[in-house]
Chain A
């Protein structure tokens, strides 16, 4: 497939457990973004990668959230000790260059996380 893919599509976990969300960007895209979208709300920026580096982590809500990217390709978003307020759809997007410079972002279908 040529698009951005994310896995799993749905994840139900118990409060206090750790979860890992995966994003496979479009091949060759240097920039990768993670967003959170709570029910009925707008997208909330979490972090973006340029290559394997994360110049802006300002959106990560707490130290329970971390992300990494390897091989300028796949990225994982890890949430430790999940809380109920972490329940949301986590969206990943990639762009050839930086979206800030005008490049188009292509979004994946998202991972719906439910913390019981």
Chain B
């Protein structure tokens, strides 16, 4: 069964600090991995997408890494801001001609003063 697990479940950091969120997956065959940001009461917004051959992708202060061998990904947030407070969701797409996206349950990040 395809699964995506994220850790930690929740995280509180001070403004200006960095943090790293983790994602482990057991999706096969692998097609791509995405990170989404979901603000409370809103739909998710895409941050990055990586295919099998990519091991890092940046979007401003967000940097995602992918290790397809160990089936792990991380999202690193640099110099956090209050507006980074949100749920960060890891999503893995299975290949083989399908269009099945498996969502993790997310890491709830809170940035405080």
Contacts and interface: CB of A to CB of B under 8 A. Distances in A.
Interface string A25-49: 0000001010100000111110010
Contacts of B94: 100
B31 interface: yes
A56 B99 contact: yes
Given A93-B43, A104-B49, A55 B89 contact: no
B31 A100 contact: yes
A56 B49 CA distance: 23
A100 B46 contact: no
A71 interface: no
A106 B46 CA distance: 8
Contact of B98 (A44, A100, A104): A100
Most A CB contacts (10 A, CB to CB) among B31, B99, B104 go to B99
A88 to B, nearest CB: 14
Contacts of A45: 100-103
B95 to A, nearest CB: 7
A83 interface: no
A4 interface: yes
Given A42-B106, A104-B49, A99 B101 contact: yes
12 contacts: A4-B43, A31-B99, A56-B99, A98-B99, A99-B99, A99-B101, A100-B98, A107-B43, A108-B43, A109-B43, A110-B41, A110-B42
Interface of A: 4, 31, 33, 35, 41-45, 48, 50, 55-56, 91, 93, 98-102, 104-110
